[in-house]
Amino acid sequence: MIVIQAKDYDEMSKKAYESMKIVLTEKPDAVLGLATGSTPIGLYKEMIADYKAGAVSYKKMTSINLDEYVGLPVEHPESYRSFMNRNLFDHIDIVKENTHVPDGLAADLKLAADEYTAFAAAHPIDIQILGIGANGHIGFNEPGTPFDSHTHVVELKEGTRRDNARFFDNDIDLVPTHAVTLGMADIMNAKAIILLASGAGKAEAVRDMVLGPVSENCPASILQTHPNVLVVTDEAAGYYLN
């Protein structure tokens, strides 16, 4: 695990993009593992700007998103499909049919989750972008999720729903109670991983991920055992690493 401490959010986003760009330019048909949330938005802006400058094309690429809320209509502005369209896909030349987000509306969620796992297994992720929850979650794999898990439905912890209420008029009751997420084993299958963390609220989770024991209590700590992980924090999120 390589850890870079940037001074602020902007520098974090730029450093992450520098590393991601190596994969994007070396592999025109790369499979991108993508994440939602506030953290990767700056990275997506870098991707869009560089695409507009003509440096990278996403025409032959495939994307696989980490997670999606259960029961939220796709058109809802806070569905992760909407988020990805708005913050990235609508601004680059990726073919929409090649962008994949778990189906949180499937009649049979378990079957849809198994199909998502199979799809991810058949399209190994070249570069996985991750954020981290204040409780150390990656994707929506909350503390206690088995390390050998695949795509599954999760009941969101209250703290996670509280963190995400800012996207739902600050009303926790509007935040879905369940989500579908790629599992820990699916994430670990990625060839390379870039995890971004920004803000003091992530400092303890980053400390536990980097310095703590590898434990299901801090899902992100499993990344210590992955051969190719870059962690990029801003100063506040990297506070305990100094």
42 is a contact residue toward ligand PGA (CB under 6 A)? no
For ligand PGA, which residue has the nearest CB? 37
Among 37, 176, 183, 219, binds ligand PGA (CB under 6 A): 37
Give whole-number Cα distances, 43 to 11, 100, 129, in Å: 10, 19, 9
Q: Where does this chain touch ligand PGA (CB under 6 A) — which range of 103-111, 119-127, 131-139, 214-222?
A: 131-139
| CA atoms of 220 and 192, how far apart (whole Å) | 14
132 is a contact residue toward ligand PGA (CB under 6 A)? yes
Number of Cβ atoms within 10 Å of the Cβ of 57: 14
Give the side-chain half-sphere CA count within 13 A for 175. 18
Which residue, 9 or 89, has its beta carbon nearer to ligand PGA? 9
**Is-catalytic flag, 137?**
yes
**Is-catalytic flag, 189?**
no
133 is a contact residue toward ligand PGA (CB under 6 A)? yes
34 is a contact residue toward ligand PGA (CB under 6 A)? no
| Residue 215: burial class (beta carbons within 10 Å; 0-12, 13-18, 19+) | middle
Among 33, 131, 176, 219, binds ligand PGA (CB under 6 A): 131
Among 9, 12, 31, 39, binds ligand PGA (CB under 6 A): 39
Residue 27 neighbours by CB under 8 Å, 6+ apart: 126
Q: Please say whether the beta carbons of 225 and 209 come within 8 A.
A: no
Within residues 169-228, the interface with ligand PGA by CB under 6 A covers none
CB 122 to ligand PGA: min, Å: 25
Number of H helices, E strands in the chain: 7, 10
Q: Which of 100, 137, 150, 152 is catalytic?
A: 137
Tokens 């303890």 label which residue? 204
Q: Residues interacting with ligand PGA, by CB under 6 A?
A: 37-39, 131-133
Please identify every residue annotated as catalytic: 67, 135, 137, 142
